Amino acid sequence: MKTSIPSPIRLSCLFLLAVAALAGCGGNDAPALDDTAAHCFDDALHTPGNTLVVTYQDPQQDASVNVFTKTIQTLSDNAEFAGETGLKQIEEKVVRQAFFTMGWGNYTRHLFMRPHEDQSHTVYGSTYESGQALAWSRSTTVYTPAYRDSLRLLKKDETLEYTQTGNVHIQQNVSPYEYDRHIESKVTARYLGDEKISVPAGEFTACKFTINERTEWVYRGAVLKALTGETESYRVQKIELNGQPY
């Protein structure tokens, strides 16, 4: 039996909004408000050297492990991946205040994509590493073909649909130690407009999205709150960009 690790497809869905936040091609620090979802994100985040740090509470976990920090930054504008060059490389790193059993819960993920002038982007794949010495897993996902994500172009109540298809190569220190898995999953994202919400970090007017079974509220590219079905997944405690309040 294969060891259960986080699904690359599920992780990709969770990462969509963070990627959109970092994928802007414009020159302004604050996107102009318009009738699309572009105003939900901040183009300042797409420049290498800028770092967004978000601290969350996970209400579904015990208080001893329910706080985690997510750090998102663009590492390169000229990365290579799966035979492609000149890609944007985005890193997402999650660190919990305490490890889960066997080290699961912390992970680092790199996404490789190419931004376009219309603020959409083409995603080629990702690498993922989780766990610690006692139990670790590494994987590389290559999408064939690469898919086009146009989340920023959605107008209120519009829906974006696409399919992620490809291969995941998995390595881990438990049996089976190395194997490949084909993936194919349909993603449906919908922009529902702006909504005022209250979280421990304060009150915000956030953009509301659904991505498959998840609902997320986004402020300048940071996910403030998320629901999976009717269950709250996490809520934000603090947001900082380059060490300053965001």
**91 contacts 108 by C-beta, under 8 angstroms:** yes
Q: Within 13 Å, how many C-alpha atoms sit on residue 136's CB side?
A: 9
Decide: residue 66, CB within 10 A, 0-12 exposed, 13-18 middle, 19+ buried. Answer: middle
**Cα–Cα distance measured from residue 148 to residue 209, given in angstroms and rounded to the nearest whole number:** 18
**Cα–Cα distance measured from residue 237 to residue 56, given in angstroms and rounded to the nearest whole number:** 5
Q: What is the pTM of this model?
A: 0.83
Residues contacting 40, CB < 8 A, separation 6+: 20, 152, 191, 206, 207, 209, 218, 219, 220, 221
| DSSP-derived 3-state class of residue 79 | strand
State pLDDT tens for residues 162-217.
999 999 999 998 888 999 999 999 999 999 999 999 999 999 999 999 999 999 99
The predicted structure's pLDDT at residue 11: 45
The predicted structure's pLDDT at residue 18: 54
The predicted structure's pLDDT at residue 134: 73
**88 contacts 78 by C-beta, under 8 angstroms:** no
Chain-centroid distance of CA 230 in Å reads 20
The predicted structure's pLDDT at residue 100: 54
The predicted structure's pLDDT at residue 58: 84
The predicted structure's pLDDT at residue 238: 94
The predicted structure's pLDDT at residue 103: 53
The predicted structure's pLDDT at residue 106: 86
The predicted structure's pLDDT at residue 12: 45
The predicted structure's pLDDT at residue 19: 55
Could you identify the residue written with the tokens 């999650």? 94
Among 172, 95, 178, which Cα is nearest to 137's? 172
List per-block mean pLDDT (blocks of 10 residues) for the chain, which spans 246 residues.
39 52 42 73 82 90 78 95 97 80 76 92 96 83 96 95 97 91 97 95 95 95 93 92 91
